[in-house]
Amino acid sequence: MLLKPFKKKWYGRRYGDYKIEKMLGEGRFGICYLATTNQGAFVVIKRFKPHILKKNEQKNVCEAVMLSKLNHHAIPKLLGVINDKELYGFVLEYKLGPTAETMLFKQKYGFNKTEIFNIGSQLISIIKYLHGKGIVHRDLRIPNVLIHDGKVSLIDFGLARWGDHERYNFDQDFSYLGDFLLYLHYSTFKKQQRVSKPWYEELDLTNEQIHLYKRMLRLEDPYSNIHELERDFLIAFRANSDK
Ligand SMILES: Nc1ncnc2c1ncn2[C@@H]1O[C@H](COP(=O)(O)OP(=O)(O)OP(=O)(O)O)[C@@H](O)[C@H]1O
């Protein structure tokens, strides 16, 4: 008999009320599985890789501690912890996707300016909520943002920490957000010249948008808080329309 590939060996297994159905994705730290409850609802089980568990005990629980403090419709709720001899992990609320990464690189989706504004506004509102709770996400990247029907969810709090204005400075989230939004702008970019130019020359951006992104990316005077950033974001997108 053929052995099941390692990751699939978990399929069909039950842990308390949850049955593992299939793998959703694998990262540096763990593997996420789609699971069902006894009532047939979907949840996510995030299982830590054993070598990560041994190394980072303190840091692993960090994600659960952070999530347990949060209650926001765009952030998965922590539903429980599984502490079985063969599986240690978290049970998380299932959020609908796909990820922005899948939309950009697999579906080749092109985001128009209205969509970029709507997604940016939602992310700013999530960051405002997190920073208000003293938390820096530190990993706001395209694989960690789910988008369904224009509604955004932010996942993966594995690197999130209590902000301290030093090592875990809140402005780390601003540069990630800047990068993220530039990815969305590039989704409709058609290269016309052979030579590559910097983003602020080749993308179709207004002066206000360039100023906004340069400050987010710390190429100009960095933002000191999310409220300051939000103000410039609204100015930069105020004449927001698809010309
Ligand atoms: N709450 C959720 N709802 C829906 N899908 C999810 C959820 N959490 C994770 N996923 C899926 O599982 C994948 C991996 O999740 P996540 O990034 O949290 O794992 P990770 O192992 O910590 O990754 P990394 O090591 O890159 O930080 C995601 O890209 C997403 O497709």
What does the pLDDT look like over 27-57, one tens digit per residue? 877 899 999 999 999 999 999 887 766 666 6
Beta-carbon contacts of residue 234 (< 8 Å; ≥ 6 apart) = none
Q: Which of 7, 20, 24 should be mutated for ligand 1, with most atoms under 8 A from CB?
A: 24
Helix (H), strand (E) at residue 89: strand 88-93
Looking at residues 89-98, what average pLDDT do you find?
96
Q: Does ligand 1 come within 6 angstroms of the Cβ of 60?
A: no
- List, for residues 172-219, the tens digit of each pLDDT value: 999 999 999 999 999 999 987 778 899 999 999 999 999 999 999 999
What pLDDT score was predicted for residue 242?
Answer: 47
Kindly give the distance from the C-alpha atom of residue 78 to the centroid of ligand 1, in angstroms, as a whole number.
13
46 among annotated binding-site residues: yes
Contacts of 41 (CB under 8 A, 6+ apart): 94
Q: How far apart are CA 89 and CA 84, in angstroms?
A: 9
Quickly list DSSP for 108-148: -----HHHHHHHHHHHHHHHHHHHHTTEE-----GGGEEEE
pLDDT (tens digit per residue) in 105-139 = 999 999 999 999 999 999 999 999 999 999 999 99
C-beta 145 within 6 A of ligand 1: no
Q: From the CB of 24, is ligand 1 less than 6 Å away? A: yes
